[in-house]
């Protein structure tokens, strides 16, 4: 099969972790007789430096022409500490999500048997956790009207959702639940917010189309609590953009390291695959970042964008093997030897 992939390494540790995912993907392609064409493109702070714009038109065209986008991370501290900066790397990410129509962000959370004791949560709380948070990604407060009132001392951000936006996300959630344990949790704040009431009403209306799915409705504050108390009681959770942003960071600690969890964003145009962690600028260039989240994102890409299940399964198996054998970066090594980012990538590619 011919696979055309846009490669957006981005900032910070992005290029280092992406390089490992490329090694592993190339090894997979060789083994299964696929032909991958990687087309690199600029995004984030490095794109601002090069062309003054975090998601240049040229990058968008490359993404549109590709079958999938593999993405590293974006962000740079020099923008975080400057609230007056008018161009920011994150704007590139939001523009990319909007222009590619990536309305659904799929963030799985699961545990690795050999890492269970790396989690800050107790073993009995997290064993068996296998959940997916499906986050709406192109609406809500991230994209609503915002601004300052004249005196500059009052600011506002507005959250807007249409029924259609909720329906298309919820439909994916129901379908995902059908393919899994048939349980769906709609996370909202319907006791306070009108948008949440629209979410709840819309999902309730859709229940009849998926009679086998058991739907629960929970407030986001309660979910924030239950997610660390009993994560293994959830299957698929659907939620709006900001709640999803917060809950997926929270969920990422369950597995023991933020450097482990992959994600996929799907929607109207080309799907995008990225680790859920950020650009980790303190580690950039040091060859110490954990590449597994990006490698596992490549596995999601093989499976979701190309339907190549066996390839994806092999990547996951090799990742598990590396964890079992302790071929891990410093975030997971504990007192044992820590391998470099590039060494982990080489090992995985060789074992493919």
- Residues forming contacts to ligand IPM in the complex (CB under 6 A) are 75, 90, 93, 245
89-99 and 57-65 helices, crossing angle to 10°: 40
Interface with Mg ion, residue 136, by CB under 5 A: no
Among 165, 245, 303, 331, indicate the residue that binds Mg ion (CB under 5 A).
245
Structural element, H or E, at residue 306 = helix 306-306
Interface with Mg ion, residue 240, by CB under 5 A: no
Q: How crowded is the C-beta side of 231, counted as CA atoms within 13 Å?
A: 29
- Has 142 been annotated as catalytic? yes
| 262 binds, options ligand IPM, Mg ion, none, Cβ within 5 to 8 A by partner type | none
Q: Which one, 260 or 323, has the nearer CB to ligand IPM? A: 260
Least distance from Mg ion to the Cβ atom of residue 276, Å: 7
The set of long-range contacts for 141-150, using a CB threshold of 8 Å and a minimum separation of 24, is 141/241, 141/242, 142/94, 142/241, 142/242, 143/94, 143/98, 143/241
Least distance from ligand IPM to the Cβ atom of residue 270, Å: 17
| 90 binds, options Mg ion, ligand IPM, none, Cβ within 5 to 8 A by partner type | ligand IPM
Interface with Mg ion, residue 330, by CB under 5 A: no
Catalytic residue among 11, 188, 235, 245: 245
Q: Which one, 293 or 327, has the nearer CB to Mg ion? A: 293
Catalytic residue among 157, 205, 221, 324: 221
Three-state secondary structure readout of 246-284:
HHHHHHHHHHCCHHHCEEEEECCCCEEEEECCCCCHHHC
Look-up of token digits 């917060």? 246
Residues 6+ apart with CB under 8 A from 307: none
Least distance from ligand IPM to the Cβ atom of residue 38, Å: 23
CA distance 51 to 163: 38
Q: Determine the interface stretch with Mg ion among 93-101, 102-110, 237-245, 315-323 (rule: CB under 5 A).
A: 237-245
- Has 80 been annotated as catalytic? no
* Token pair for 136: 């709406």
Q: Which one, 90 or 250, has the nearer CB to ligand IPM? A: 90
Catalytic residue among 11, 188, 189, 339: 189
Beta bridge partners of 329: none
330 close to 338: Cβ distance less than 8 angstroms: yes
| 93 binds, options Mg ion, ligand IPM, none, Cβ within 5 to 8 A by partner type | ligand IPM
Closest CA to 255 of 192, 320, 201: 320
- Has 249 been annotated as catalytic? yes
Closest-approach residue to Mg ion (CB): 245
Q: Which one, 118 or 279, has the nearer CB to Mg ion? A: 279
Interface with Mg ion, residue 11, by CB under 5 A: no
- Has 161 been annotated as catalytic? no
Write the CA distances from 218 to 190, 195, 275, integer angstroms: 9, 15, 27
331 close to 259: Cβ distance less than 8 angstroms: yes
Q: Which one, 12 or 327, has the nearer CB to ligand IPM? A: 12
Closest CA to 300 of 279, 328, 274: 274
Catalytic residue among 26, 67, 130, 249: 249
Catalytic residue among 142, 234, 280, 339: 142
Q: Which one, 235 or 245, has the nearer CB to Mg ion? A: 245
| 10 binds, options ligand IPM, Mg ion, none, Cβ within 5 to 8 A by partner type | none
Residues acting as catalytic residues: 142, 189, 221, 245, 249
The binding site for Mg ion (CB under 5 A) comprises 245
């Amino acid at each position: 099969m011919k696979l055309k992939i846009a490669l957006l390494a981005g900032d910070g540790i992005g290029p280092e972790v992406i390089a490992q995912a490329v090694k592993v993907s190339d090894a997979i392609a060789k083994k299964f007789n696929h032909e991958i064409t990687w087309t690199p493109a600029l995004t984030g702070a490095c794109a601002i430096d090069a062309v003054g714009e975090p998601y240049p038109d040229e990058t968008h065209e490359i993404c549109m022409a590709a079958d999938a986008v593999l993405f590293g991370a974006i962000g740079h501290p020099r923008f975080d500490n400057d609230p007056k900066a008018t161009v920011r790397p994150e704007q590139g990410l939001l523009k990319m999500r909007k222009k590619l129509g990536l309305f659904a962000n799929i963030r799985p959370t699961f545990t690795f048997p050999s890492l269970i004791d790396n989690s800050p949560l107790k073993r009995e709380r997290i064993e068996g956790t296998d959940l997916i948070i499906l986050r709406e990604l192109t609406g809500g407060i991230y994209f609503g009207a915002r601004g300052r009132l004249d005196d500059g001392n009052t600011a506002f951000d507005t959250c807007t959702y249409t029924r259609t936006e909720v329906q298309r996300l919820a439909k994916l959630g129901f379908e995902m639940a059908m393919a899994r344990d048939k349980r769906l949790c709609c996370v909202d704040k319907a006791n306070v917010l009108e948008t949440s009431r629209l979410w709840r009403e819309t999902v309730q209306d859709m229940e009849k189309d998926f009679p086998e799915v058991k739907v629960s409705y929970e407030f986001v504050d309660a979910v924030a609590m239950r997610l660390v108390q009993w994560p293994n009681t959830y299957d698929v959770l659907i939620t709006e953009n900001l709640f999803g942003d917060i809950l997926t960071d929270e969920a990422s600690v369950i597995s023991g390291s933020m450097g482990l969890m992959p994600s996929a964003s799907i929607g109207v145009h080309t799907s995008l695959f990225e680790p859920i962690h950020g650009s980790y600028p303190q580690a950039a260039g040091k060859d110490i970042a954990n590449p597994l989240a990006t490698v596992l994102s490549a596995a999601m890409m093989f499976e979701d964008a190309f339907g190549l299940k066996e390839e994806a399964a092999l990547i996951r198996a090799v990742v598990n093997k590396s964890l079992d054998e302790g071929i891990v970066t410093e975030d997971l090594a504990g007192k044992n030897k820590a391998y470099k980012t590039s060494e982990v990538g080489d090992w995985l590619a060789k074992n493919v």
